[in-house]
Amino acid sequence: MACKNVRSFLSGVKYLCKQNNRMLTRVVYCHSKVEESSEADEEEEILPSEWYELAFSKMNKWSHSLNELDLIGGKLVNINDHSRVFDDKLEKKLHTFKSISRAFIGLPSMKETMQKNLMSSSADKPFKEFQHFCKPHERVALTVSSLTKVSDILSISAQQRKVVRQKICPQVTQYKIWTGALSEILNGLKSEIEVLIHGRSSKEIRLAQQIVVNCLKFLECAMSYDPETSSWMRLTPTKGADSPDSPKWEDALEMSTDLVNCLSDENELAFHVSKLGVMKEGLYQIRDVLVDKNIGYKENRYQEYLVQKKLSKTLGHSSRCLFTLLLHYLYGTVGDIEVEVRGGFHAVGGSKKSCLYMGKILTMDEEKVVWNGVKQLDKAMGLFKFVWETAGMKGDLQLQGHLWCVGAKNRSFRYRGNVYMVHEINL
């Protein structure tokens, strides 16, 4: 249940100043999944001081209980081992915590704190002189699920977008990248179904469990190579390449469609189910390609080549399937890029330098929590820089990461050549 812009969030919160704490928690959560608003910013509403006092008290109270948790790839995880945590109450509380924090970032006192921190940092002088996160649309959350979203933010032209696609397609559509991404999604779905089935078992869940096992068996056949078997070493096929008995990627497409239909109402599995739905675009394009080790070595390699060729030809710049393959190619993961505080892109006229700045909200100012946030920002901003360089954009793109935390010590530091700043959230 997501709202479309920050104004509606602030209006709802303003009303809740008069309500009890339980209502505040519930409704702020409803507005916590804002992804982005129009850059045509509307005038911000000023909330009464009582709301900020109540919200600040909540944040202080919750920060200790949430210090080992974070939202990564849309899922609640333990930052110590990145294991999935299935706890709806904690997940709602963390969403609420981050939503409240975003409301504080726009306060005049917070802007002053941020500017002082920026001026004392090692950031280049031109990037110290403009206001960061001053507009409402810069303080909302952002989900990056396609190359188009990246290109829009970086103001990459249509011609340069074609260059990006042409350069990355041959790399990210390699057979091992394609099967690896599918394997991660299906294995993740299998693990989560096994957890879910212990708590409650329905006909749909049991059916989905059988389908996902069959999908993984199909994928194992597509990925496995046994050089000791005569069928693998055989140069010529034992049966015709057009044999109706030969399995094709169409089989995986049908099973994936059945899985998505079975699990469409299971919120706990929404992440992997939605990702499997995204991959159906690629499965459809290669549905006629064979998956059979008995067709002989040369024919099998040719079928793998066809997978790469068809995917490279058909997946466009805006394709979420292509973007998922890119993420697996770069990071070995398939989750979309989640940015908690969108930030912005600023080009300095005449200097041939540009700056991309984004933010992250922390629960506590502890080393493990800070570094977890830094690494997430580094991954998100690193993707933007990768696209910038692949597009052949002129000038240097500098990256700036901002982290906010209640009771934090204001400071700045460098990580992998980029400037990061920790800002204290205060009244």
For every residue of 242-290, DSSP letters joined together read: T-TTS-BHHHHHHHHHHHHHHTTT-GGGHHHHHHHHHHHHHHHHTTTSB
Q: Indicate the burial class of 129 (C-beta count within 10 angstroms; 0-12, 13-18, 19 or more).
A: exposed
Q: Give the rounded percent of residues in the chain with a pLDDT score beyond 90.
A: 62
Query: Do residues 136 and 42 touch, judged by C-beta distance below 8 A?
Result: yes
In this predicted structure, what is the pLDDT of residue 374?
Answer: 97
For residues 68 and 81, what is the distance between their CA atoms, to the nearest angstrom?
Answer: 10
Weakly modelled stretches of the chain, pLDDT under 50 = 1-23, 25-27, 29-38, 40, 227-241
What is the identity of the amino acid at 296? Answer: G
Query: Do residues 237 and 299 touch, judged by C-beta distance below 8 A?
Result: yes
In this predicted structure, what is the pLDDT of residue 8?
Answer: 42
In this predicted structure, what is the pLDDT of residue 204?
Answer: 86
In this predicted structure, what is the pLDDT of residue 68?
Answer: 92
pTM as predicted: 0.87
In this predicted structure, what is the pLDDT of residue 234?
Answer: 44
In this predicted structure, what is the pLDDT of residue 23?
Answer: 38
For residue 403, give Cα distances in angstroms to 85, 347, 381, 400: 23, 22, 14, 10
Give 180's Cβ-side CA count (13 Å radius): 17
- The closest of 297, 306, 299 to 243, measured between CA atoms, is 299
In this predicted structure, what is the pLDDT of residue 249?
Answer: 96
Structure token pair of residue 381: 């901003």
